[in-house]
Structure 1
Amino acid sequence: MKTNLRTEDLTCPSCIKKIESGIGKKEGVSKVDVKFNLNKVTVEHDESVTGDELKNVIEKLGYPVKSVKSSA
């Protein structure tokens, strides 16, 4: 599965590392791609991970999430 999340307040490369590290530790996540200039996070994961779980991880790191779209 793939989930795209639109975020706010991604302003620098350290934001990328923080999100990649936080989501990358989650069981079932295989790939994380953060584009801070687009405020976009793309996550490849298995069916055990939900978009809401990913959103919660990002928001706990201090970045508001505006939208979540998952696809198979």
Structure 2
Amino acid sequence: MQKAVIQLETLACPSCMQKIENAVKGLNGVNQDSVKVLFNASKVKLNFNAEDIAITDIENAIENLGYEVKGSKVRSA
């Protein structure tokens, strides 16, 4: 299991948070219970299984919603 922190562009509204959270939770390989969108910090924290999904796939899912990903940090859980 890997831990990831994804830095996003500044989030404008709480509904943005919900959209991102739902999209990331729906990805195969992401631990649904670990997904947290930090509104004030514009970050997404999550745990994922690197054998099932790559961090770039998670970033792409967020960017496909229209939110810019500034960068990610991944480390072993």
Q: Is the partner of 1:43 in helix, strand or coil? A: strand
**Aligned match of 2:74:** 70
Flag structure 2 segments of 5+ consecutive residues without an equivalent.
none
Q: Normalising to structure 1: TM-score of the pair?
A: 0.92
More strand by share: 1
Q: Normalising to structure 2: TM-score of the pair?
A: 0.86
- Percent identical among aligned pairs is 38
- Encode CA deviations 1:36-60: one digit per residue, 9 max, x unaligned: 1101111111122211111101100
**Aligned match of 1:42:** 45
Q: Runs of 4 or more off by more than 6 Å in structure 1?
A: none
Query: CA separation in 2, counterparts of 1:29 and 1:11?
Result: 25
Query: CA separation in 1, counterparts of 2:75 and 2:57?
Result: 15
Contact 1:7–1:64, Cα closer than 8 Å, also in 2: yes
- Letter matched to residue 26 of structure 1: L
Query: CA separation in 1, counterparts of 2:73 and 2:10?
Result: 19
Flag structure 1 segments of 5+ consecutive residues without an equivalent.
none
- Letter matched to residue 52 of structure 1: T
Count of residues in Structure 1 that have an aligned counterpart in Structure 2:
72
In the TM superposition, residue 71 of structure 1 has moved relative to its aligned partner by 0.7
- Encode CA deviations 1:10-42: one digit per residue, 9 max, x unaligned: 122101110011010101111211011101111
